[in-house]
Amino acid sequence: MTERDIMAYYTDMEELKSDILEQVLSKSNACDFSTYTERHVVKALSADVCATEDFAALLSESAAPYLEEMAKKARSETNKHFGNSRYLFTPLYISNYCENQCVYCGFNRGSNIKRSRLNCEEIEEEMAAIAKSGLKEILILTGESRKYSDVKYVGEACRLAKKYFTVIGLEVYPMNVSDYAYLRECGADFVTVFQETYDAKEYDRLHPGGRKRIFPYRFYAQERAVLGGIRGVGFAALLGLADFRRDAYATGLHAFFLQRKYPHAEISFSCPRLRPAAGGEKIFDKNISEAQLLQIICAYRIFMPFAGITVSSRENSNFRDNVVNIAATKISAGVDVGIGGHSGESKGGEQFEIDDGRAVAQIYGMLKAQDLQPVMSEYIYL
């Protein structure tokens, strides 16, 4: 069977009249990181405002010897715009059924994992258990299956979450504007979508089946979410699937151009590195070191000083402890990436392996020990 071209929308997928995709791809594809020298890096570090060319310089190999200087500038920008506040949250996986065939993911439809979907009573049990830890922010996740986790199912999870949490995030499949508007009514505050890679050729190879193949529909998810009234949107590439410098550059450009078009939108970045996953191909020929990951995170902070930056439990405790004192503003705690593991034994298989399984109290204590202020919720609704 020949799969649909990655640029060809399904009839029920909403197409926006937007040129952000063209801007991002033309600029990122034209970028030659080898042309940036020490002089470009020094200029970028001394600039009051980091332009897109400065951002590229900070991602280049020439910036590697300047990592300490980048970290100092990133820390200064973080302190300037966020003070010593660091936000805590945990993800809640409510379903792992998926219709896609991403070759690197444990949820892909061909993976031989235990499938599960929590019902409303089970979702509430999970949320009640999480709330006992003191957390007030939750990120709701599903596999990408409209059959097992349709919009109303996700919406009901948001309504249940409002009973326990003040900030509700979503990391689910891309939707149309009207769907995002409905989820906003249900209580959703922000939406994160991983583009995975901005390299169209690699995207095609890595996504051989499912609706996720449609590259531009996924790309425009954040813009549709903003148009649907969602106040915050998150951006990420799964670092390690393709050229990580180009993917990081494209991610930053994506966020930059969207915020320029919608200045009211709250912007955040996630910085996930590829992790082993059950049933996923072992794609580790493009390993990214911790120093390179820190370079990317610092470059994001310098380029977009107001943006939130999340460091996930994919990373080890030592790295996370350090990066929250430099550039990251949000950290996950008490993480379980299976289905139903917060209130009892997990009911379904995991998406990937985590590296930092510390409880909420431990992450809270770590932040306090660094004279940082753990914040359970960034919003209070009156």
Determine the pLDDT at residue 336.
84
d(CA 138, CA 167) in angstroms, rounded, equals: 6
Closest-CA residue to 356 (of 368, 369, 366, 371): 366
Say yes or no to pLDDT of 81 above 90.
Answer: yes
How many Cα atoms sit within 13 Å of 272 on the Cβ side?
24
Q: What percent of the chain has pLDDT over 70?
A: 94
Q: Mean pLDDT throughout 169-183?
A: 98
Residue 159 has pLDDT above 60, yes or no: yes
Q: What is the mean pLDDT of residues 69-89?
A: 97
Is the model's pLDDT at 277 over the cut of 60? no
d(Cα 169, Cα 188) in Å, to the nearest integer? 6
The class (CATH top level) of 82-375 is alpha beta
Straight-line distance from the first to the last Cα atom of the chain, in angstroms, rounded to the nearest whole number: 54
Spatial contact of 332 and 89, defined as CB atoms under 8 Å apart:
yes
Q: Are 198 and 25 in contact (CB under 8 A)?
A: yes
pLDDT confidence of residue 209: 94
CB atoms closer than 10 angstroms to residue 165:
26
Tell me the C-alpha distance between 63 and 56, whole Å.
10
Query: Count of CB atoms within 10 A of residue 380's CB?
Result: 8
The average pLDDT across 268-276 equals 87
- Average predicted confidence (pLDDT) for the chain: 93
Q: How far is CA 179 from the centre of its chain?
A: 20
Q: Tokens for 269?
A: 């970045």
Segment 7-11 shows an average pLDDT of 96
Instruction: Provide the token pair at 172.
Output: 């689910």
Which tens digit of pLDDT belongs to each residue from 89-132? 999 999 999 999 999 888 889 888 889 999 999 999 999 999 99
Across 46-55, 237-246, 369-378, least confident range: 369-378
**Distance between CA atoms of 199 and 201, rounded to whole angstroms?**
6
Percent of the chain with pLDDT over 90: 84
Confidence at 2, pLDDT banded by 50, 70, 90: low
Tell me the two tokens of residue 317: 């405790």
Least confident of 19-28, 136-145, 152-161, 329-338: 329-338
Residue 309 token pair:
């930056």
Q: What is the pTM of this model?
A: 0.95
* Degrees, nearest 5: CA angle 355-341-358: 35
Residue 377 clears pLDDT 80, i.e. is over it:
no
Which whole number is the average pLDDT over 52-74?
98
Residue 377 · residue 136 · CB < 8 Å:
yes
Number of CB atoms found within 10 A of residue 209's CB: 17
**pLDDT mean over 307-315:** 94
Task: Report the sign of the C-alpha dihedral through residues 145, 151, 157, 161, in that order.
Answer: positive
Other C-beta atoms lying within 10 Å of the C-beta of residue 11: 4
Block residue for tokens 């299956």: 145
